[in-house]
């Protein structure tokens, strides 16, 4: 099937040659996500796209999660907003090119804000900005390093209920080891969560705290 009208799958021949930058058409993304439909719709399933481009996979993943938020929590504005932010917290990307990484953050931010009906100055949009700057990392997924040669870290977010979130940061290279062990079913497989210690554990936060972090970034 040909890409739908207006869907640009290549930005330039040079970018294709240098970075393998060819975007996946939306029909193919939907077909692939349908293979893991339940996971793609679950609010708290964590998705990492290690070559995320401008978000052709992550945008429909967030769309599906937000549909679940509406179905499960749409009746309470408080729960809807908090679970929508939590859905965003469960979407992760790595992208080597800074313009793509920023486009990906912007696309996810627009989707989130449109869902809540807020503008970019609203505290929910600013909280989303904090989450996206942690979750969509500009870096090399192969070396697992940032452009400054620091190890890539990811925030593990949890929603504790009653408007409170927890953040713990883990090194990406250690997380990949953990999933390797779990997949292997080794003696230590069920200890994975205890064997890897966070780089940083933050105090619990509210949406106001997250919005304030965006203001100070």
Ligand X SMILES: C[S@@+](CC[C@H](N)C(=O)[O-])C[C@H]1O[C@@H](n2cnc3c(N)ncnc32)[C@H](O)[C@@H]1O
Residues of this chain that interact with ligand X (CB under 6 A) are 19-24, 49, 51-53, 56-57, 94-97, 100, 140-142
Least separation in angstroms between residue 14's CB and ligand X is: 12
The least distance separating ligand X from the CB of residue 16, rounded to whole angstroms, comes to 9
Of residues 35 and 187, the one with the C-beta less far from ligand X:
35
Q: Tell me the HSE value of 164 on the side-chain side, using a 13 A CA sphere.
A: 6
* Closer Cβ to ligand X, 63 or 164, answer by number: 63
Cα–Cα distance, 85 to 42 (Å, whole number): 14
Q: Which is nearer to ligand X, 36 or 142 (CB)?
A: 142
From the CB of 63, what's the least distance to ligand X, in Å? 15
**Cβ closer to ligand X: 17 or 217?**
17
Closer CB to ligand X, residue 17 or residue 193? 17
Residue nearest ligand X (C-beta atom) = 53
Minimum distance between the CB of residue 51 and ligand X, rounded to whole angstroms? Answer: 3
Smallest distance, Å, CB 148 to ligand X?
15
């Amino acid at each position: 099937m040909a890409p739908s009208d207006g869907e640009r799958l290549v930005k330039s021949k040079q970018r294709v040659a240098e970075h393998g930058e060819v975007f996946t058409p939306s029909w193919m993304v939907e077909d692939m996500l349908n293979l893991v439909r339940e996971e793609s719709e679950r609010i708290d399933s964590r998705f990492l796209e290690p070559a995320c481009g401008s978000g052709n996979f992550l945008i429909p993943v967030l769309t599906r999660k937000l549909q679940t938020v509406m179905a499960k929590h749409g009746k309470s504005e408080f729960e809807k907003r908090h679970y929508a932010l939590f859905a965003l917290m469960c979407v992760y990307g790595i992208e080597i090119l800074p313009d793509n990484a920023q486009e990906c953050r912007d696309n996810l931010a627009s989707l989130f804000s449109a869902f809540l009906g807020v503008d970019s100055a609203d505290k929910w949009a600013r909280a989303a900005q904090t989450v996206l700057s942690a979750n969509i990392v500009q870096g090399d997924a192969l070396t697992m390093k940032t452009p400054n040669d620091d190890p890539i870290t990811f925030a593990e977010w949890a929603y504790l209920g009653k408007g409170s979130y927890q953040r713990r940061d883990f090194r990406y290279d250690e997380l990949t080891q953990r999933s390797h062990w779990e997949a292997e079913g080794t003696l230590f497989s069920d200890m994975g969560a205890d064997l890897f210690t966070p780089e940083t554990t933050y105090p619990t936060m509210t949406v106001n705290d997250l919005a304030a972090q965006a203001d100070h970034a």
